[in-house]
Each structure stands twice: as structure tokens, then as C-alpha cells.
């Protein structure tokens, strides 16, 4: 699959289809059922990816974990205060954003592993090439850490705003929809920013013309 088509497919599967499933299911199943429905496209995609390519899609898994945490928060809080029950879901899913920020303290942050997972879809040898560039290109390390920081701040901020929405309008039937529109809108915005950042990485890769392996082909973050 060509890089542009691959990333467009990832955007559709991880953002558009879960959002559409949520909107279609919400009037009939409520928030709990709609969240469960939004997980179905991700489960189907990950199963197909694993069976067809023997590849584990880390990005889809990340989005799925957020949905499952939201389902858990709502299920556990069904007997509690209505306002707190509604605010638990975005607060718990905000742990994903916090995990990005915490991973910055590690030698290899979370985006490093997401990038490596994406490359393994095309060729497992790409993993060795990417790790080689990680060791030899300080600029690549800086870009990966910047992307981790932006995703962490974006996801954490998104969940703070979603918490404010359900706190200010706990009885409004549209607040849950607004909260999830914000969720998928932030995912789309972060994905678009990632595409732009990949272009910068591609331009930076031109400074290494003597590499035996073309980094723009082995590094999915540098593909376009």
C-alpha cells in the first residue's frame, strides 16, 4: 500500500469510522452502547491487519484502549452521582495523554514505538534501519520527542475540555455528542499535524545522502 493511501486509511479507520459508528448508535443505544459500537471498526481493522499482515497496529490499539477505558469508567460509575459519572469517562481516557508525557522521561518515548510498529507492516528489516537512524540522527530523536510532547499535550488538553463540557452541562443530551466530536476532532487535528511533521523529517533526511538505506523509505514518519 502506498504511503499516502496507508495514512489516509489509518485516518479513516481510527477517526472517521469510530465517530460515525458512535453517531449512528447513540440515538438507539445511548452513550454506553455508542462507545461499544465505536470500538467495532478498530477491532475489525486490527484483526484483519494481524491475520493478513501479521502486524499489530499500535495506533489503533491506542485509540481502542481509550474507548475501553471510557466504557469501564461509565460501567463502574453507573450507580454513582450523574455528574461524576459523566466526567469519569473523559478523565480516565486522559491517562493516554499522560502516558505520552510520562514516556518523555524514558530513553525511547511512546511515539518511537508507534513509528516502529507502523514500519513493520512493510518490512521487518525496516525496524533495524529505523533504530540505526535513531542512534545516528539527533534531529530524528528531537522530532520524535516533539511529536510525543504534542500528542501528550493535545490528548490531555482534549480530555480537560471534555470534562468541562460534561461538568457544565451534565443534563444536556447533546453534551455527550459534543464531547465525542471534540475527541475525534482532536485526533484528526493531531494526525494532520503529524503529516506536516513528517514532511519536516523528510526534508531533514536529505542531509544524510550517504546512508545505505533511504530514511524516507524506511521511516514512515518521513514518508509522504
pLDDT confidence of residue 148: 92
pLDDT confidence of residue 217: 45
Distances (CA, A) of 160 to 38, 151, 175: 21, 14, 14
DSSP state of 107: S
pLDDT confidence of residue 220: 43
40 has a pLDDT exceeding 60: yes
Query: Which residues, at least 6 apart from 175, have a Cβ–Cβ distance to it below 8 Å?
Result: 86, 165, 166, 169
Q: How confident is the model at residue 173 (pLDDT cuts 50, 70, 90)?
A: low
Instruction: Dump pLDDT digits (tens) for 143-155.
Output: 999 999 998 999 8
pLDDT confidence of residue 219: 42
pLDDT confidence of residue 121: 61
pLDDT confidence of residue 91: 62
pLDDT confidence of residue 153: 92
Instruction: Dump pLDDT digits (tens) for 73-124.
Output: 667 655 455 555 556 555 656 777 888 898 899 888 988 887 777 666 655 5
- Tell me the average pLDDT of the chain: 75
H helices present in the chain, as ranges: 3-11, 17-53, 58-76, 82-93, 95-103, 110-120, 125-136, 138-168, 175-205, 215-218
Q: How confident is the model at residue 218 (pLDDT cuts 50, 70, 90)?
A: very low
Instruction: Dump pLDDT digits (tens) for 98-111.
Output: 888 988 998 889 88
125 has a pLDDT exceeding 90: no
Cell of 38: 465505536
2 has a pLDDT exceeding 60: no
Arithmetic mean of pLDDT, 68-74: 74
pTM: 0.66
Arithmetic mean of pLDDT, 160-187: 78
Amino acid at each position: 500500500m502506498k504511503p499516502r493511501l496507508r495514512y489516509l486509511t489509518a485516518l479513516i479507520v481510527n477517526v472517521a469510522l469510530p465517530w460515525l459508528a458512535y453517531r449512528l448508535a447513540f440515538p438507539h443505544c445511548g452513550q454506553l452502547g455508542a462507545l461499544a459500537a465505536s470500538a467495532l471498526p478498530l477491532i475489525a481493522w486490527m484483526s484483519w491487519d494481524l491475520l493478513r499482515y501479521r502486524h499489530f497496529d499500535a495506533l489503533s490499539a491506542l485509540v481502542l484502549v481509550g474507548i475501553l477505558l471510557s466504557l469501564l469508567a461509565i460501567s463502574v460509575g453507573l450507580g454513582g452521582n450523574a455528574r461524576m459519572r459523566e466526567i469519569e469517562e473523559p478523565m480516565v481516557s486522559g491517562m493516554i495523554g499522560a502516558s505520552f508525557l510520562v514516556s518523555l522521561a524514558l530513553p525511547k518515548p511512546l511515539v518511537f514505538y508507534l513509528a516502529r510498529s507502523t514500519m513493520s507492516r512493510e518490512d521487518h528489516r525496516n525496524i533495524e534501519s529505523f533504530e540505526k537512524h535513531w542512534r545516528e540522527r539527533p534531529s530524528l530523536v528531537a522530532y520524535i520527542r516533539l511529536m510525543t510532547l504534542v500528542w501528550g499535550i493535545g490528548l490531555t488538553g482534549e480530555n480537560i475540555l471534555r470534562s468541562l463540557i460534561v461538568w457544565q452541562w451534565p443534563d444536556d443530551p447533546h453534551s455527550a455528542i459534543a464531547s465525542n466530536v471534540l475527541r475525534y476532532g482532536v485526533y484528526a487535528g493531531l494526525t494532520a499535524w503529524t503529516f506536516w511533521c513528517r514532511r519536516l523529517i523528510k526534508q531533514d533526511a536529505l542531509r544524510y545522502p550517504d546512508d545505505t538505506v533511504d530514511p524516507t523509505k524506511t521511516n514512515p514518519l518521513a514518508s509522504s
